[in-house]
Amino acid sequence: MEFLEPIIAAIAAFGLGFVWYSALFGKAWQRETGISDEEAQSDMLRTHGLSFLMMCIIAAGINFIVNLHGIEEQTFVHGGFHGALSAVMYALPLMGVNYLYQKKSLKLFLIDAGYALAFFALAGGVCAALKF
């Protein structure tokens, strides 16, 4: 089951991303990036396929951290904590550096960083919760 945990976590994160970037922040994100509707819809198979692969890799890394703890400690909340901590310590600072050099807006950073934080926490929670 251990190899399935990151895949299931990536599926959950993919669903979260769909809601985040469509219903919640889709139009604002599109305005901030300057991506047109046509550009957003182009090459979806490659974009979504490679994004899902990257999500699996991230979830596997978070699962590695979660697995450093005993099975009795591995709850959704505990896994979510480790996922969120990983985002705060690694993903968000790297995004911040990139956005600063690329002169991207604070609004775009907050949209993307918010998703990254939620994604990492969800992935950690799912990976931990799937332990039997």
| Number of alpha helices (DSSP H) and beta strands (DSSP E) in the chain | 7, 0
pLDDT band at 35 (very low <50, low <70, confident <90, very high): very high
Q: Which of 77, 79, 56, 53 is nearest to 66 (CA)?
A: 79
Distance CA 108, CA 105 (A): 5
Taking residues 112-129, report their average pLDDT.
Answer: 97
Task: Please tell me whether residue 120 adopts helix, strand or coil conformation.
Answer: helix
**pTM of the model as a whole:** 0.94
Domain spans of the chain?
4-129
Quick: pLDDT tens for 40-69: 889 999 999 999 999 999 999 999 999 999
Q: Please tell me the predicted confidence (pLDDT) of residue 132.
A: 63
Taking residues 102-120, report their average pLDDT.
Answer: 98
Distance CA 124, CA 60 (A): 9
Q: Please tell me the predicted confidence (pLDDT) of residue 40.
A: 87
Which residues make Cβ contacts (< 8 Å) with residue 92, sequence separation at least 6?
113, 116, 117
pLDDT band at 28 (very low <50, low <70, confident <90, very high): very high
Q: Please tell me the predicted confidence (pLDDT) of residue 131.
A: 84
